[in-house]
Structure 1
């Protein structure tokens, strides 16, 4: 029966061409699966007369209103739906891939046909990426991943962390999509890579391949504690960080020398001054084998300031240079100078150097005198040190003050002054001969005429090594020749003056009387000599044995009955020789009054209890 209908079908096919009653292809199906070839026809009111399906030159089956006839090779796998002319084919194999055709003869006559292509695919499975893990170094290595699968792959899709990877300058996808290459990987290339393989019937995705990209260390940063200054005995913590994969290992350095401490945190407990310095940390990556060192952080461990002082380098002498040095124990961070409670204003002869440690004067003067204070401090303590500057100078302006003329018996009093710091030492000279006197005043009682002359005061400054001098001319005059003699004292009133005049008259009268007596005696002597031979010898012999007689006229009584001296009592008394013969004085001078008084064992007359002369 089948051959007859098949012949009829061939006849129809030969006489008319189908109208394309199958959809556009191709159709895709999986091996072992099934496929439904649907026509575009809807069931007619009157069933089709014949529906015939074929695969290439092979007949699949024929369907009529009375039943269907399936070919031997498709028995149990093929089924034709007569009302629509559709074909369902199951248990597909790869051999089922190809072109399929259908021919329908409706009840109204004629014929409609169509063709479509079937592609039978092996399902995708066992998708894998090779290698499954990779460890790369940034900027040094490249990434290469390959994707493989079972089945009939038609497309490959690479993804990183769930996002599709597309080709670029660094990224290449080759070998039909099976191979992924990334040159000069960066840290951003690290992640989870998957490969999705697809065909029309199914798709499958690989397990992730983990790619690690190591980099760094970089941006190494040391975070010190707040502030750089810390007191002795405090605790300090510093932290080191770095961008690095894997995490960096840290070592610590102080002033370039490695410490035993490791790790990202450095803890210093009960710090001491010797722990001051420049701290740094170094990060090391065990994968990249690279290291990087942080910028240094300066830590100052400060000891409280003590034992502050300001000392000069040499005695301050005007016109010379001078340095004031400010010293202290402990940690000195700053020095500030003041003068007389105000900030020091540097003048042209001042300069600060050595971090304000030394204040230098090019030439110091007395105008620089004052109290200089050095304020020494650090972040935790401070101290003041003062120095009172007194500039040594002189001696200058050496002067002698005192009278230029005094009387015999008066007191010599001269005073010497000089501008000098420290006070000058004085030496006195009289007529260029040194006097044993080291005082600024020269005092001598009972001045004599021999004390007249040039007095020199020499002032010396042992600190400056300088000296200066001044001269003073002094004249000591005798009272009798002094027109400017001092008048009698307040006790010598009018009566006193009258008494003095009377006494003078008496003295003159006595002198005249003595003179007359001497003249008379001389005349008589001449007469005797002219008549007596050898009398001259006797006269001379007698002359040698004659005594000298002296008279003191020093005191007189005033109208009150008080003895008053006629003049200065400390002066030497002059005497006149009065002889009773006519011969002149011998070859030797007469004895002095003092010798005379000693010989006669008498003392010089002195005022008595009532002011009169005292007599033996």
Structure 2
């Protein structure tokens, strides 16, 4: 017998009736009860017996005269008899499935196997009777002449038989009513099918019946149609507007709208008119690229129209792209303008190549066929047109300030911005480029505490933080693409900055102390000047009254004239004369003192 553990009960019973499965190999058990599983096999004296669940889970191993060895999951809830019968206790729904007995003759090694199916039944709980139309307080209102189905939901219980009743009478007798296990189908339902319905479920140990469900068949709103006033397609997003109109047969019909199955969202572009039977969308956008439906309702039923999907068009989000990518000895030329609806027509032109496709065109050529200043042209056509050109040349840059001078300690910046060949009037795009910076010591630079490099496909910037004088020299920026390499040279001159100011005294004088010192100094100068005046005056008086030993005092001018912002100061030069020429005392000649102008 094969493995039947995945087949429902009714299938097994059907197979048994057809003779495909022997009922002798199907055992039934009740949750919480016990069951004896038996397979008729030859039992040699020297045998090894094993029972397995679903062919892989070992339950027990037994030898004649020895104690059976039970696995941990089955200890205490099963027993192996000498005749190889297996008793399972405390049955659970998880025990349902296929069980295999294998008997091995240890004398010659021959093994014989057999399988049985165990079905576990529980006392049935009431099923739930459901209908495929909306219900209110146990009442359903199916529409006349529609397909209606009832489902007797047993919640996964093992059920052998389902029976449907209308007003207590079997409901499957009409030719347009089909009962298929747990489903009843009205094909279609009629006005005479109004009534109270129940369903009954049965298994070998119990049965149960659902709560009643009331069906009231009603006339419906019919002929719901949704139309659009669009005269041409597609409608271009952001530019076009459209009116959707919902019509239906019936009385007192109201309308509601849905987009992709959900209620129509609030949107300032959506305008409901004519008692909600018309929807104006102005302008349409990409988000309107879904299924619109309208539902017509009255007091007895509702009907939803067939979905209407707007045919929308939009341009690609990005500009058309020109690319050239090297791969070994080849170059792949690419023109791309994706994302539009409908797809854009894109044309690639290169030398004698002219090819048009949707969204993207690529062409592979040999590198040897690409010459400096060749160009790739791409043209895209959709709602609008775009074009681009890609110049195939080594990097070109305009470096207006290759010489940089900075003070020591201040940052220095050098920048390379690639440009296309300005001689071409159409200003083509340029190839992506990699950049390498080299210092005056021929060392390749990288980001760190001293340097910061910011590079893109088309520009690069080197920042030197707090350069020293010895950082002066020639810096190089090597720019390279698959067409070649260009080197841009910069000269950096780092100048030594002004000397640092002297350190401030640890305890600077206060403003009051400084004022006191100044006042004191001025008072001292005034006293000295007064003293000199009286000394000079007294000396002149003595000179007139003395007859010998006169002293001569002359005033020496330090400066001939008073200059701007200068103070004119005179100093006294004191000399002595002997009254008696004959008694000259030897006097050491003193050199005349020289004075400088004192500037205030």
Assess same fold via TM > 0.5. no
TM-score (norm 2): 0.28
Structure whose alpha-carbon radius of gyration is higher: 1
